[in-house]
Structure formats: structure tokens, C-alpha cells
Structure 1
Amino acid sequence: MTEAVRETPKKERPEFRNIHVTDLMNYRLPMAGIVSILHRISGALMFLLLPFVLYLLQESLRSEYTFAHFMIIASHPIAKLVMLALCWGYTQHFCAGVRHLIMDTHVGLDKDSARKSATTVVVITAVVTVLVALKLFGVF
């Protein structure tokens, strides 16, 4: 009886290895994972830039002189880039949040629908960010 058990071929177990830091560039993350990570990054970006936004709001509302100071600050190219980053962060966070809320209702949980909705979030975010950049830098 023990000989019969020994003679059966032993199945090879799959080997799972931890991903090393050097392997991260070779790892292909699905679009849904990219959107999830960008959702977290955009939330952190909006939180970290909150003091800048509150300062600009304070400068724009205090008086006419501080509004003129606000206009000088807002016309600087670095400030425009920060405002563009905030617009990207808000758009990304909003669109991904709506996607997650829809998925919380158990709609679009299969692999194909999740990939399509993640791609839609990235495309909408990119289009809105480009339009805001064009308006912000005076193209139209």
C-alpha cells in the first residue's frame, strides 16, 4: 500500500516569490490598480496642498489690495503648475471616487467592466486636465 502511494507522481507546487524593489519596473499593474493608486495619490496631494489653497482663498477675499496680491501670485508659472496639479488631483479623485461608489453597488465588478471603467476614469481625467491647462496657460 505504501509503495502505491510512493509511485504516484508528486505534483509540483507553485512557487510564489516576494517582489523585490528591483522587480517593480517589470511588474505590470492592471489599469484598475493604477486608478486605485492614483486615487490615493490625488487624495494625499489635495490634503498636502490644502494650506496653499486656504492661503490663496484668504488673499483673494480679504481686501482689494490682497486680491491684487493674489492675482500676482496666481499669474506665476509655478503657481499655475500647482493649481494644475490640484485640478488634476480633484478630477482624478472625483472620477475614481464615483467609480468606486458605483462598484460598491455591485455594478461592474467583472474583469472586463472594471478595466473599461478604469480606462474611462483615466481618459476623462486626462481630457479635463488638458482643457484646464490650456485655459490656465492662456491658449484659449
Structure 2
Amino acid sequence: MAKGPNVNWLPVKDDNRPVNLDLTKFHFPLPAITSILHRISGVLIFVGTAVLMWLLAESLSSEEGFQRVGEWLQSPIVKFIVWGILSGLLYHLIAGLRHLLMDAGIGETLEGGRRGAVLIIVFSVISILIAGVWVW
């Protein structure tokens, strides 16, 4: 029999209680919501970069391509897509600044996390609305 470290030091509960995996039943605190949104906005930026690069390549392909992209950008659907990508970028930037401040030791307490989350929401809403006015 092989000898090794004893790993039975953690208490183990052997019961048959049901596990609730319905995420709609959980109440997430605001810092958790802002953290999840930060990750989602990163994915949006990743996908949105491909869209923006395609538009750039099309506009640089020829004079006709440039005119086509100019016409597409007048469409409300394309404006909404560009605004969505820009919104994700702004939110990710603001939430990322909070993470940098936390790396510097600022806002690491429970109360600091809550205040930081509120500030993220406030500054993001303001900047996203300004971006919406600019795009439209």
C-alpha cells in the first residue's frame, strides 16, 4: 500500500440534499454583477473587433467600398451595432480601471467594493449615453 499525505482533513458531508442550480434564484451582490458584466463586455469587444476590422478592410479596399461602408453606417441597425461595441469598450475600460485601483490596494474592502461597483455603473451609464448621442 502506497503511503502518502493524509487528505482526509477536510470535513465531508455525505447527504442527499438537492442542489439548486437555478441561477435566477440567487441574489448576486452588485460587485459580482459588475464583475460578470466586465467579462461579458470583454467577449463583446473581442467579437466586435472582428466586425470593426471587417468594416475597416471594406472601406480601405476601394473607393466604392468606402462609399458602401459610409452608407451602411447610416443604417440604424449598423449604428446600434457600433454603439453596442462602443458601449462594451467603455464599460470594460471603466471596470478595468477599478481593477487596476484594486491592484494598487484601493477599494479592496467590502464597502470599497460596493462603492466601486456603484461608481462603475454611474460612469458607464453616463459614458454610454454620451457615446449613443455621438453615434446617432
Counterpart-to-counterpart distance in 2, 1:114 and 1:51: 33
User: Over the residues paired in the alignment, what is the CA RMSD in angstroms?
Assistant: 2.1
Name the structure 2 match of 1:35: 34
2 CA distance for matches of 1:40 and 1:63? 36
Write the deviation string for residues 15-59 of structure 1: whole angstroms up to 9, x where unpaired. Answer: x974322xx223211111011100110011111222211011112
Larger Rg: 1
- Normalising by structure 2, we get a TM-score of 0.80
Task: Indicate the residue corresponding to 1:130 in structure 2.
Answer: 129
TM, length-normalised to structure 1:
0.78
- Deviating runs (4+, > 4 A) in structure 1? none
Gaps of 5+ in 2: 1-16
**Which amino acid is the alignment partner of residue 41 of structure 2?**
S
**Aligned residues, how many?**
122
The residue type equivalent to 2:88 in the other structure is G
Shift of 1:63: 3.4
Whole-Å Cα distance in 1 between the matches of residues 45 and 63 of structure 2? Answer: 27
Matched, 1:46 2:45: yes
Unaligned residue ranges in structure 1 (runs of 5+): 1-15
Amino acid in the other structure paired with 1:136: V
1:82-123 Cα offsets, whole Å, 9 max, x none, are 111111110111111111111012211111111111111111
2:97 matches 1:94? no
